Amino acid sequence: MYCTNCGRKIKDGERYCPYCGTKTFNEYEFNQQRVDYAISRRSIPMCIILSIVTFGIYGLYWLYCLASDVNTLTEEEDSSGFKVLILSIITLGLYELYWLYKVGERLSDFQTYQGEMVDSYRALVYLILGIFGLNIVARALIQNDLNKYAYDS
């Protein structure tokens, strides 16, 4: 078995590459196809407009939904939607910067798991957008990725 990131040979059954730390998947896991994920498709323009019109109140709800949907999609309970929302408010947005970076990593890992091409700079892009106050753009990019796997309601 070879690492998908650095290309080095690793032992079968290893969950992480010992050389670069990238999460690995065995051939069975890699070829599994999941079709239906229990997340809803959301209109990105509508979410942005509602966030602006409600002076950010809808943006907080959207953040909660994004965190919950990422957890559902990746089947990991890293941070609940409520935890992300509360900690982002308490830390005046600093926790959201951390969360944006972690979500970028988790979505990249998920796309690797799905056998898709992975944007290795996704986490860094989300973080930089957040640092420059463009959280709404980062959220739109995350929503775009989630919409690819959402069921049509």
Q: Provide mean pLDDT across the span 110-118.
A: 83
pLDDT per residue as tens digits for the range 63-101 = 999 999 999 998 888 889 999 999 999 999 999 999 999
**Lowest-confidence pick of 17-31, 39-53, 63-77, 95-109:** 17-31
What contacts 4, CB < 8 A, 6 or more positions away?
22, 24, 112
For the chain, give every domain's residue range.
1-32, 36-151
Nearest to 145 by CA among 92, 100, 95: 100
Note the pTM of the prediction, 2 decimals: 0.75
Residue 119 scores a pLDDT above 90: no
